[in-house]
Structure 1
Amino acid sequence: MIRSLSISLGLVALAALGGYWMTSQPNVGLTPVAAAQAQEVPQVESFTLGDPDAPIKLEEFASFTCGHCGNFHEDVFKRLKADYIDTGKVHFTYREVYWDPYAIWAGLLARCGGEMRFFGIVSVLYEKQKDWIDAKDPAKTAENLRQIGRAAGLGEAEMETCLSDAALATALRDQSAATTAAAGVTGTPSMLIDGELYKNMRYRDLKKILDEKLAG
């Protein structure tokens, strides 16, 4: 099982991440079919929470392997969601940032659950961030991600398909590069609040910004 997944993740790493992180030849080791798939550019869906007509638009830029992002989701995001997103004051968009292979693997897994499961899987990825990331053993990291997928109700074949989607991995990487550059993001977590860029902050500081906007 681990061997099968590591082969699939290796395909993704070589095809989608090779040019950036793994090798100078993006399609080394790919079959003709896989190489063709790697050239396709699928549409990348953005996942949102809250009322689209909310008075404040907030975009979070975060990486699944960023420790500060994990802390943000545990300490800040939960209160942000309860106080502002769920009450119709903030429309929230999650912008995935991909600067390393493990983050992309996590992103592929989160997207495997579709719109209904995406944010649930994202929450677990951040909550158990220190448990699933194994810097010394990619195969162990892969199996840890599978365990999260199983707990979310994903099947083995379903995860295999998602985690070996080289074309989507490439599209995610490229969109991440484009959105971070356009917003001026240089670190994570960062937020665009009504188009203005902010870096990581405590909840009380974020609350002050949001309350001032709502009062204005």
Structure 2
Amino acid sequence: MNRRIFLATTACAALGGVGAYLYTSQPNMTDIVVTPANAQDGVEIDTSMVPDLIMGDADAPIELIEYASYTCPHCANFHSNVFKQLKENYIDTGKVKFVYREVYFDKYGLWAAMVARCGGDLRYFGIQGMLYEQQSDWIGGGKDAMEIVSNLRTIGKKAGLSDADLDACMNDGDMAQAMVAKFENEMQEYDVSGTPTLVINGEVNKNMSYADLSAKLDAILDA
């Protein structure tokens, strides 16, 4: 997937001329373009409301940062065929501190991330797993925005979120702007242009199989 500077969010009203509500029961909805958040009238966006997504021992010898998008099929494949073994053998055993960084190449990836974050720290990674496992189902043909919103809400409710929870989260324009600003800052840190990207102790790596990843991790641990 190629990086996009502009993120379209479904909206019925703009916040500050840029941000937008992501869900509404109103039938007449328009697309508002979210431009790079840090460039809005020279105002720096406060991203403190968007916590880092971390799993594992904070003092682990290896830090692995994954940049991934919920609409990226390669990311879904990574989480299906690589991540489960990575978690079992390296994260849960204290060898790897895992940091997940959300990438929004499209509006649907942003919406999915907002649903995942709606569950808070305790539910985030559980909802993440559902989003990747059911990626082709909730995205569908990718053309009907309201159908995708409905599918994401269904996943959220299966994870234990109420309609009120989802309404509040998916209409939180301030949170959406902060998430976009955080995404832009994090993408610049390692000049990430595609997903999944794996940053292992500061070294940028492209997508890889579990065998290749485990070999790289073991070599670091044995050094």
Q: TM-score range with shorter-chain normalisation?
A: 0.7 to 0.9
Which residue identity is paired with 1:159?
L
SS state at 1:92 partner: strand
Equivalent residues of 1:11, 1:164 under 8 A apart: no
Residue 28 of structure 2 corresponds to none
Structure 1 residues 12 and 159: alpha-carbon distance in aligned structure 2, compared to 1, 3 A threshold: farther
Query: For residues 59 and 189 of structure 2, what CA distance do their matches in structure 1 show?
Result: 23
How far residue 16 of structure 1 moved from its aligned partner, in angstroms, is 3.0
In the alignment, which residue of structure 2 is the partner of 1:166? 173
In the other structure, the counterpart of 1:106 is: 112
**RMSD over equivalenced CA pairs, Å:** 2.2
The secondary structure found in structure 1 opposite 2:11 is: helix
SS at match of 2:205: strand
CA-CA distance at 1:10 after TM superposition: 1.9
Contact 1:12-1:164 within 8 A present in 2 as well = no
Equivalent residue in structure 1 for 2:161, among 149, 154, 166: 154
TM-score by length of 2: 0.81
CA contact (8 A) 2:68 2:101 kept: yes
Bigger proportion of residues as strand: 2
Structure 1: 5+ residue stretches without partners? 1-7, 27-38
Identity percentage over the alignment? 46
Q: Which residue of 2 aligns with 1:34?
A: none
Matched, 1:16 2:19: yes
**1:146-186, CA deviations, whole angstroms, 9 ceiling, x for partnerless residues?**
10011000000110000011111111112111111111211
Aligned position for 1:41: 46
Q: 1:12 to 1:177 in 2, by over 3 A?
A: farther
| Corresponding residue to 2:212 among 200, 205, 208 | 205
Structure 2 stretches of 5 or more lacking a match?
1-8, 22-30, 36-43
Amino acid at match of 1:194: N
Specify which of 120, 124, 127 is matched with residue 118 of structure 1.
124
Q: Is the 8 A contact 2:195 2:207 kept in 1?
A: yes
Question: What is the match of residue 101 of structure 2?
Answer: 95
Matched positions, count: 194
The list of structure 1 runs, each at least 4 consecutive aligned residues, that deviate by more than 4 angstroms after superposition, is 11-15, 22-26
* 1:69–1:188 contact (8 Å) kept in structure 2: yes
C-alpha contact (below 8 Å) 2:47/2:181 kept by paired residues: no
For the 8 Å contact 2:12–2:20, the answer to whether it is kept is: no
Tell me which amino acid in the other structure corresponds to 2:85.
Answer: R
1:136 partner letter: K
Shift of the 24–62 alpha-carbon distance from structure 1 to 2, 3 Å rule, reads closer
Determine the C-alpha separation between the residues in 1 that align with 2:102 and 2:205. Answer: 16
Residue in 2 aligned with 1:196?
203
Q: Is the 8 A contact 2:64 2:99 kept in 1?
A: yes
Counting helix residues as a fraction of each chain, which structure ranks higher? 1
Give the deviation of 1:99 after TM superposition.
Answer: 1.5
